[in-house]
Structure 1
């Protein structure tokens, strides 16, 4: 049992590492290397990063790669609650290491970017380079408004995750397509609402790199205005996932068509 849990946690760490390695690497190339990229292309990169991570780790751990998803599955999907904390720790470690590797590869490019723009990491200007790794809200959003954005898009993500992985859902895709559907959902949420908050949708995706930034010279300034980094990208997705899971289980599943059974016990048609 311990060996199995260790393997699952390792898979979660690797899956989350892949997510950050691809996603943050894409942002770094856009910000520091002058790569021309639309927000749609950036969102697609993040969505495909999730899809790839699911293909790599999904068979072992389910590839939650997101504490909000893990908590949502524990409350609504029957996931073993004893695994929640180990999964979350593994996800944060994977995200931390992913950010560290991207920083190592782009370190000189980031320093040149900061020097050119006059960025001081421990000042408010440091958010410009820290934004490569973690999310920050638009200045015109209040903390509550940003929270609502993260809540809403993560709720949608959780509904989709349940829908495409539910064997009782006759409309669910098969043969590896759920991973693609999840990735597309993240990309769509990114292009729709990402410009507002950076579409964290995942406490580990944001907090792991933010921890790395604290250690790498940005200090606690990287937590953002009004301690944003400890509130919105953590609790917005978690509460959103819980809400989305409830919507799916209580408002969608009960209305699945039920089979009408003959006296001999054989299904002969579906009735709505």
Structure 2
């Protein structure tokens, strides 16, 4: 009974950590886009958006990392399941927490800037047009981007994200100093943003894109958020999951499985020294007992 209660308590803690970490990511990330768009670029630009998402991810991982690992992304969670770093039964729980956190983060951004939204749009919330604001919360493709190009974009972008995360947390690799991992992960997003953001704004995260997109659908933008650009919405959901699987497989096959393993047949120098010390202690103990018998 106690074990069951402890298990429930543990998964609740992880659920809340993932929820809060994703909430922080979306609040900072979408908030930076909202400030740039609603101020008509007077208080923001592409670089500030890159910073917002990078710092948002970094802080989200700091918030949740010690409890749940700080995935804040279903694609990352899937990669951890594939590599045996996350139990498969926890996967849907993590994903639900991430989607709810992203939805709540988008709702908070809208509430925070509600008056600015009404002033910018004159009360007409739209996905397309000169006063479009749907792209504040979710990704939409550039005019030049095809469906196949968008899918490849998300596979490659998310693949690089997951590949670098696995390298950062891999104890058998160089890794990152303890406590610095979130900073390093935030820098990955910065690098992806400044190098792969042209096509569709690097969503790379099904929860970060679909959660806010669902919010916009019910908050006044309507179901156009799903039908626009030839029903684009599934690309930033499916693409990152495929990218995560590919990256996890590549990292395991090309890096992780080649780590040098200690030979169990050959004791290390420290183990040999410990054995010598134990032998000396035993000899000393036997000598003391022998001397006591002689004295008696």
Which TM-score applies when normalising by structure 2?
Answer: 0.83
Secondary structure of 1:128's counterpart equals coil
Counterpart position of 1:47: 54
Q: Distance in 2 between matches of 1:160 and 1:190?
A: 14
Residue pairs, 1:115-126, within 5 angstroms: 115=122, 120-121=124-125, 124-125=128-129
Secondary structure of 2:91's counterpart equals helix
Q: Which has the higher contact order (CA 8 A, sep 6+)?
A: 1
Secondary structure of 2:207's counterpart equals helix
Cα contact 2:22–2:101 (8 A) shared by 1: yes
The one of 135, 160, 167 equivalent to 2:164 is 160
Compare CA radii of gyration and give the structure with the larger one: 2
Counterpart position of 1:270: none
Counterpart position of 1:33: 39
Q: Which runs of 5+ in 1 are unaligned?
A: 268-272
The question of 1:8 aligning with 2:8 is answered no
* CA shift for structure 1 position 77: 3.7
| Counterparts in 2 of 1:63 and 1:176: CA distance versus 1, 3 Å | same
* CA shift for structure 1 position 166: 1.2
The one of 140, 148, 153 equivalent to 1:149 is 153
Q: Distance in 1 between matches of 2:156 and 2:182?
A: 21
Q: Which runs of 5+ in 2 are unaligned?
A: 1-6, 271-296
| Counterparts in 2 of 1:240 and 1:126: CA distance versus 1, 3 Å | farther
Cα contact 2:21–2:70 (8 A) shared by 1: yes
The one of 254, 257, 267 equivalent to 2:257 is 254
* CA shift for structure 1 position 31: 0.6
Aligned residues: 262
Q: Which runs of 4+ in 1 moved over 6 A?
A: none
Counterpart position of 1:19: 25
Counterpart position of 2:97: 90
Residue pairs, 1:63-74, within 5 angstroms: 63-74=70-81
Q: Distance in 1 between matches of 2:79 and 2:32?
A: 28
| Counterparts in 2 of 1:126 and 1:216: CA distance versus 1, 3 Å | farther
Cα contact 1:47–1:187 (8 A) shared by 2: yes
The question of 1:136 aligning with 2:143 is answered no
| Counterparts in 2 of 1:83 and 1:123: CA distance versus 1, 3 Å | closer
* CA shift for structure 1 position 45: 1.7
Q: Distance in 2 between matches of 1:194 and 1:123?
A: 19
Secondary structure of 2:151's counterpart equals helix
* CA shift for structure 1 position 168: 1.6
Q: Distance in 2 between matches of 1:127 and 1:141?
A: 22
Counterpart position of 1:201: 204
The one of 95, 99, 110 equivalent to 2:106 is 99
Counterpart position of 1:228: 232
Q: Distance in 1 between matches of 2:256 and 2:105?
A: 37
* CA shift for structure 1 position 37: 3.3
Name which of structure 1's ranges 120-129 and 148-157 shifts more when overlaid on structure 2.
Answer: 120-129
Counterpart position of 2:246: 243
Counterpart position of 2:287: none
How big is the alpha-carbon RMSD for the aligned residues of Structure 1 and Structure 2? 2.0
Counterpart position of 1:190: 193
Q: Distance in 2 between matches of 1:179 and 1:89?
A: 22
